[in-house]
């Protein structure tokens, strides 16, 4: 059952990836899709400058309007995110975001390497010395060596949302009153990976303009990719401003997780498998919960329920 549920979520993630990015042929041509779908936002983080993308990135869309000549706030993009977040909360992260899927695949690859290494060494596959400053080892009973992010780092994404997405594009403007999309410009690893690298490969003339900005963004991308191999959903936990918006709405979203305390036998299995380091028995509606359903599928007492209602009809 657990494997079936896992496979179902993966299939939905892949389908969502395909729906967001159907124009794969554009990679070779170095062109972008230019049709009318681009005026609609995708719920997840998917760069609109990616050659394969047919929808717009909501964070990019928000900054484009915030930094435009005539407007300082995007009612359209914020309204869209409010609607999606109020119904699904961070289930968007767990089920449909392409960049979330990428991080899961990277962590899966990391797990494979860790397993091979642990078989070879007969150890538990710990991280190399020196990485402990960024992440702390999960004190899980299974001793699987899973790593988790130091809790204060999870608040960085809210600062990024406020400063780079909302404040800088509206405040740091030029003579025409236009601001730059600061998150795209200085941070976004999705833009560097999905748009920057493929477009630089097909447009040699662009490579001649490479400079410090690209070095900064490439460095952030490298940290995010390595971080995602070591820690489950490293970028989602620490840096993603879109995840921050859905996290705020997670508390009230219609799709939610609920725990029947009368059924719970306090075995701790749910907390052990949670990719976001949550104990769903204590905080079923934590801001970090991506509604992946991993906890409810391993619960031996059937105490956790993910859905639009609180408890399962018997």
Partner 1 sequence: MKRKITVPAILLIAAGMIAYGSCRGETAIILNKAVNICMQCIGLG
Site residues (vs ligand SF4, CB under 6 A): 44-45, 47-49, 57, 59-60, 93, 97, 99-100, 181, 183-184, 188, 190-191, 235-236, 240, 242-243, 257, 274-276, 278, 280, 289-295
248 binds partner 1 (CB under 8 A): no
Choose the binding region for partner 1 from 18-26, 63-71, 150-158, 272-280 (rule: CB under 8 A): 63-71
Dist. CA 57–CA 89, nearest whole Å: 17
Residues 6+ away with beta carbon under 8 Å from 126 = 137, 145
CB of 183 to ligand SF4, least distance (A): 5
- Residues paired with 258 in a beta bridge: 305
DSSP output for 126-177: PPPTTGGGTEEE---TT----EEE-GGGGGHHHHHIIIIIIIHHHHSB-TTS
Count of residues of this chain found to bind partner 1 when the rule CB under 8 A is applied: 54
Out of partner 1, ligand SF4, none, what residue 97 binds, judged by CB under 5 to 8 A for its kind, is ligand SF4
Contact 42, 120 (CB under 8 A): no
Out of partner 1, ligand SF4, none, what residue 78 binds, judged by CB under 5 to 8 A for its kind, is partner 1
Closest CA relative to residue 229, chosen from 147, 301, 298:
147
Closest CA relative to residue 27, chosen from 226, 214, 218, 193:
193
Q: What share of the chain is helix, strand, coil (3-state, %, to 5)?
A: 55, 5, 40
Q: Of 41, 93, 168, 259, which one interacts with partner 1 (CB under 8 A)?
A: 41
CB of 61 to partner 1, least distance (A): 5
Q: Which residues here bind partner 1, judged by CB under 8 A?
A: 32-34, 36, 38-39, 41, 47-49, 56-57, 60-61, 64-65, 68, 70-71, 74-80, 82-83, 86-87, 180-181, 184-185, 188, 191-192, 195-196, 199-200, 206, 209-211, 213-214, 216-218, 252-254, 256
């Amino acid at each position: 059952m657990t494997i079936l549920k896992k496979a179902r979520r993966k299939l939905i993630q892949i389908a969502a990836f395909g729906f967001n990015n159907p124009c794969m042929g554009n990679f070779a041509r170095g062109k972008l899709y230019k049709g009318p779908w681009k005026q609609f936002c995708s719920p997840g983080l998917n760069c609109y400058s990616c050659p394969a993308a047919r929808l717009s990135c909501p964070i990019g869309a928000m900054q484009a309007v915030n930094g435009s000549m005539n407007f300082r706030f995007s009612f359209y993009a914020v309204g869209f995110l409010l609607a999606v977040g109020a119904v699904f909360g961070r289930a968007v992260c767990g089920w449909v975001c392409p960049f979330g899927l990428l991080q899961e695949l990277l962590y899966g690859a990391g797990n494979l390497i860790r397993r091979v290494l642990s078989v070879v060494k007969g150890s538990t596959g710990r991280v190399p010395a020196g990485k402990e400053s960024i992440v702390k080892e999960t004190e899980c009973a299974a001793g699987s060596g899973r790593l988790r992010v130091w809790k204060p780092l999870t608040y960085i994404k809210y600062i990024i949302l406020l400063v780079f997405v909302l404040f800088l594009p509206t405040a740091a403007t030029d003579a025409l009153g236009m601001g730059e999309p600061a998150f795209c410009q200085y941070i976004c690893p999705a833009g560097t990976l999905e748009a920057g690298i493929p477009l630089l490969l097909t447009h040699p003339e662009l490579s001649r303009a490479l400079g410090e900005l690209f070095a900064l963004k490439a460095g952030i991308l490298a940290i995010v990719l390595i971080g995602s191999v070591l820690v489950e959903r490293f970028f989602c936990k620490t840096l993603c401003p879109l995840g921050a918006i859905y996290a705020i709405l997670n508390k009230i979203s219609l799709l939610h997780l609920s725990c029947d305390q009368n059924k719970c036998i306090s075995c701790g299995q749910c907390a052990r498998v949670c990719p976001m380091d949550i104990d769903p028995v204590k905080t079923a509606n934590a801001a970090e919960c991506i509604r992946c359903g991993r906890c409810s599928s391993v619960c031996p007492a059937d105490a956790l329920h993910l859905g639009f209602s609180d408890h399962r009809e018997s």
